[in-house]
Amino acid sequence: MDPPSLLATVHNNLLAVARSATLFDVAAVIVAVCALHSTLRAARRSLKTTKLRGPPRSNIVFGADKQIFELPDPGAIYETWENEYGVVYEVPTTLGGKKIVLCDPRALAHYYVRETWTYVLTDMVRSYFQLNYGRGILWSQGEDHKRQRKSLTPAFSQDAIRNLTPIFYYTAHKAKSAWEAMIDASGGGSTIIEVQNWMNHISLDTIGLAGFSHDFGSLDGKQTSITEIFGSPKLSAVNVGLFLLSQVFPLLSSVPTPRTKGLREMQRTIEDIAMKLLARTKKEKEEGAFDGKEEKSIIGVLLKANDSDAALHVTLEEVLAQMRVLLVAGYETTSTTMTWALLELARNPDIQRKLRQELLAFGEEPTYDQQQSSLPYLDAVVHEILRIHAPVTDLVRVAVEDDVIPLSEPVVTSSGEVVNSISVARGTQIGIPISCINRSTRLWGADAKVFRPERWLEEGGIPKKAQDIQAYRHLLTFVDGPRTCLGKSFGLTEFKAVMSVLVRNFVFEMKDGPETQVEVDRGLLLLTRPRIVGEQGTNVPLRVRRYEG
Ligand code: HEM
Ligand SMILES: *[C@@H]1O[C@H](CO)[C@@H](O)[C@H](O)[C@H]1NC(C)=O
Ligand SMILES: CC(=O)N[C@H]1CO[C@H](CO)[C@@H](O)[C@@H]1O
C-alpha cells in the first residue's frame, strides 16, 4: 500500500515567503497604507497596557513572528526570553503589533478563568475557523460557546468513552495485523516501518468510526477526499503570505485558493456521512437498537440527545460544523502524539522494556477502567510524552476588555519599575507558550528537558513550582478553562489502547542506531511533528520486530 503523504511542510513554505522579495514588497506597501491605522490603535493601547521588556523587532514586517514561525518548536526561544525578561514579557508581531506572553502560573490561572469571555480568538483565527470548519465549537465564544460545549459534553462523558474503547482497540489491531504481515513478508524477522503515516491512519480511521460511525478505510489503503485533504494541501508561498497578513486583515483569509476547493470537498463528504447518521439514529429511535447495535459515536450520541431534549437546539449546520471540528481537533493531535511516543520508546530501550513488562504482567488488554488505575507506568509514559511533545505549542488570544493580571513573582517593566501585576488594555494580544511552560526548567527542575516517565511516579517528582500550574496534571497540553480540550479522555484512551497493543507485540528500534538525530517540523495544522534527520517530509522509519518473549 502506498500511504498518502499526510503532511504539508507549511514551515518550509513560510521560510519561502520570508525570503520572497515580492511578498516583502507587497507587505511593505500594505504597511505604509495601514501605518496610520496601527499607530492610532497602538497609541490607544499603550495608554493603558503595562510596557514590558522583551525581544527586539527582528523583522520589520513580521516582527518576531517570523523568528517564531521559523522554529518548528518555539518552546526554547520562549524560555530564553523568559529567563531574560521575566515571567511576562512582550513580543513584537506582524505589522507593528505586539503580544504579551504569559509564563507565570498565577497569571495563567487568572487568564484561564476569563477565556472565551475577556480573552477571545483573534479575528484572523476566528474567520479562518469559520471558513474552514464552520461555526462549530472551536469558532464559538462566550454564551454561544457555553451552549455548544454543553450540547457536546455528554457525548464525551466517561460512559461515552468507555463505550468507544473497543473501537480504539479495533484500529490498533488492524495496524498490528498489517505490520505482522509486513514483517513476515520481509522474511528477516524485522522490517522498517514508517510509523508516522501509520499513526495518521489509526487516528483518522478512529475519529471516523468513533466520531461519526464512518470508516474512512485509510488503514486498508483507501484514498478518499478526506485522506487527500489531509495529505495534499501544501500551502503555496502566496497562500502563506495571505495567512500571515490576514492576522491584520481578517478578510484576506477568505480569498479562494486551491486549498479551499479541497475543503469544500471535505464538507460534501461530511454532509453525506451526516445524512447517513441522521437516518440511522432516526431508524434506531423508531425500531430500537438498529442492526442489534446501538449508535455510540460522538455525533450519534449528540443527535440522539437532541431528539430527546428540545432544549439543546442543535441545528444541522451545527452538527456539520462539529463533525469538521472533530476531524481537525482529534486527528492530527493524536497521531503526532502517538508517533512521538514510538520514537521516544525506540530511543529509550530501557523505558520501552519496562513498559512492555508492565503490559505483559497485566495480561489482558486493559479496559477503559483498568487504563485509569491498573497500569501506572503506561500512564506515566503517556503523560511524559504529552509534557515534552505537546502538539499545540502556543496559542494567541486578544483581550476584549481591560484587565489586570496578577503575577506570582514581580517583573521589571521597560521603564525599570518593579510590578506585581500588569494592566492589559482592550485590544492587547496575549500569547500562551504551552511548550515552554511544559518544559520550563524553572517549573519542572533541572531535568525538565529529559524524557523521564518516572517523574510521574516518584514522591516529589513533580516540583512545587510545576504544581502551581492549575491545569490537568499541571500540563497546559490540553490547556485549561472553558476551552479545555473536550476530547482529552478520548485522546488519552486511544493513545493508551494503541500503545498497549503495539508495545506488547512489537519491539521498536532506531533504524540507524541510538545516535540518530531527530528534528521537529510542523504538520498540517502547524502542530509539531517529528522527523528523522535526512528523511523526506516528516518520515519516521523505525526498525520493527515481533516481540517473542
Ligand atoms: C493528544 C491529543 C490532544 C491534544 C494535545 C489536544 C489539545 C487541545 C487543545 C490545546 C485545545 C484548545 C484549543 C484552543 O483553545 O484554541 C483543544 C480543544 C479541543 N479539542 Fe483537543 N486535543 C487532543 C485530542 C482531541 C481529540 C481526540 C478530540 C476529539 C475527538 C479533541 C477535541 C477537541 C475539541 C472539540 C476542542 C474544542 C473545545 C472548546 O473549544 O471548547 N481533541 N484540544
Ligand atoms: C434537533 O431537534 C430540533 C427539534 O427538537 C429539530 O428541529 C432539529 O432539526 C434537530 N437537529 C437535528 C440536527 O436533527
Ligand atoms: C524533541 C524536542 O521537542 N526537543 C525540544 C525540547 O525542548 C527544548 C527546550 O524547550 C528544545 O531545545 C528541544 O528542541
Quick: pLDDT tens for 40-71: 566 555 558 999 999 988 877 778 877 777 77
Q: In testing the pocket of ligand 1, which one of 432, 485, 492 has its CB within 8 Å of the most ligand atoms?
A: 485
Domain 3-168+196-502 class in CATH: mainly alpha
Given the CA of residue 389, which atom of ligand 3 is nearest to it?
3
Q: How many CB atoms lie within 10 A of CB 240?
A: 23
Q: How confident is the model at residue 6 (pLDDT cuts 50, 70, 90)?
A: very low
Whole-number pLDDT of residue 369: 96
Whether the pLDDT of residue 36 is over 60: the answer is no
The closest residue, in CA terms, to atom 6 on ligand 3 is 449
Residue 471 has a pLDDT of 83
Q: What is the pLDDT of residue 21?
A: 39
Locate 123 and state its grid cell. Answer: 479575528
CB 441 within 8 A of CB 449: yes
**Burial track 298-325 (b if 16+ CB lie within 10 A, e otherwise):** bbbbbbbbbeeeeebebeeebbbbbbbb
- Whole-number pLDDT of residue 531: 86
pLDDT given at position 236:
44
Q: Which of 437, 361, 379 is nearest to 111 (CA)?
A: 437
pLDDT band at 148 (very low <50, low <70, confident <90, very high): very high
Question: Is residue 22 over pLDDT 80?
Answer: no
Q: Is the pLDDT of residue 7 over 70?
A: no
CB-CB contact of 269 with 227 (8 Å): no
- Using the predicted structure, report yes or no on whether residue 300 has a pLDDT greater than 50: yes
Amino acid 232: pLDDT:
39
Residue nearest (by alpha carbon) to ligand 3 atom 13: 76
Q: In DSSP terms, which residues pair with 518 in a beta bridge?
A: 532
pLDDT value, residue 211: 93
Q: Say whether pLDDT at 26 is over 60.
A: no
Contact 57 CB / ligand 1 (< 6 Å):
no
Q: Which residues line ligand 2 (CB under 6 A)?
A: 303, 306, 310, 314-316, 319
Comparing 64 with 454, the larger pLDDT belongs to 454
At 108, is the pLDDT very low, low, confident or very high (cuts 50, 70, 90)?
very high
Ligand 2 centroid, distance to 303 Cα (angstroms): 8
Give residue for cell 511516543: 341
Higher pLDDT, 252 or 442: 442
Residue 296 clears pLDDT 60, i.e. is over it: yes
Q: What distance in Å separates the CA atoms of residue 182 and residue 192, rounded to the nearest whole number?
A: 9
* Element (DSSP H or E) covering residue 396: strand 395-399
What's the whole-number mean pLDDT along residues 329-342?
92
Per-residue pLDDT, 2 = 29
d(CA 155, CA 281): 14
% of the chain at pLDDT higher than 90:
50
Pocket mutation for ligand 2, best pick of 283, 312, 314, 316 (most atoms within 8 Å of C-beta): 314
Which range (12-21, 151-160, 304-313, 402-411) has the least confidence? 12-21
Helix (H) or strand (E) holding 386: helix 376-388
CA distance linking residue 466 with residue 300, whole number of Å: 39
Comparing C-alpha atoms, which of 39, 139, 237 is closest to residue 245? Answer: 237
Ligand 1, atom 14, lies closest to the CA of 483
Average pLDDT over residues 405-422: 96
Which range, 34-38, 251-255, 288-292, 418-422, has the best average confidence (pLDDT)?
418-422
Q: How confident is the model at residue 529 (pLDDT cuts 50, 70, 90)?
A: confident
Which ligand number lies closest to the CA of residue 495?
A: 1
Q: What is the pLDDT of residue 332?
A: 84
Give the pLDDT of residue 237. Answer: 44
Q: How many CB atoms lie within 10 A of CB 106?
A: 18
Ligand nearest the Cα of residue 335 is 1
Instruction: Please state, in angstroms and as integers, the Cα–Cα distance from residue 336 to each residue in 204, 356, 509, 526, following that order.
Output: 12, 21, 18, 11
- Residue 34 marked as a ligand binder: no
For residue 391, give the ligand 1 atom closest to its CA: 5
Mean pLDDT of the chain: 84
